[in-house]
Amino acid sequence: MWVIGGFADSNKNDVWSSTDGISWTTATDEAAFSGRDDHQSVVFDEKIWVIGGDDNLDRQNDIWYSIIEYVSQ
């Protein structure tokens, strides 16, 4: 499970992951894309894609992706 960006007092560009929804690990405090909310995130071709959103100045129409690193248990 992944949580990417969003709004908490300001727009965020942090990325978090969890295998159980209880314990969370920070993947990065500051991703390459600007802080935003109202974006979409999807998984395709072993990548997480972040699409558009609002950075409090403008609606964004950019697309970012990152390779997913699987952790075996």
Residue 32 has pLDDT above 60, yes or no: yes
Tell me what pLDDT residue 66 has: 86
Q: Total domain count for the chain?
A: 1
Which one, of 53, 52, 47, lies nearest residue 65 by Cα? 47
Q: Which residues on adjacent β-strands are paired with residue 63?
A: 51
| C-alpha span between 37 and 11 (Å, rounded) | 6
| pTM for the whole structure | 0.81
Quick one: average pLDDT of 10-31? Answer: 94
Q: Is residue 29 part of a domain?
A: yes
Q: What is the mean pLDDT of the chain?
A: 90
Domain assignment of residue 15, given as a range: 2-67
Residue 73 forms part of a structural domain: no
SS (H, E, C) the chain: CEEEEEECCCEEEEEEECCCCCCCEEEECCCCCCCCECCEEEEECCEEEEEEEECCCCEEEEEEEEECCCCCC
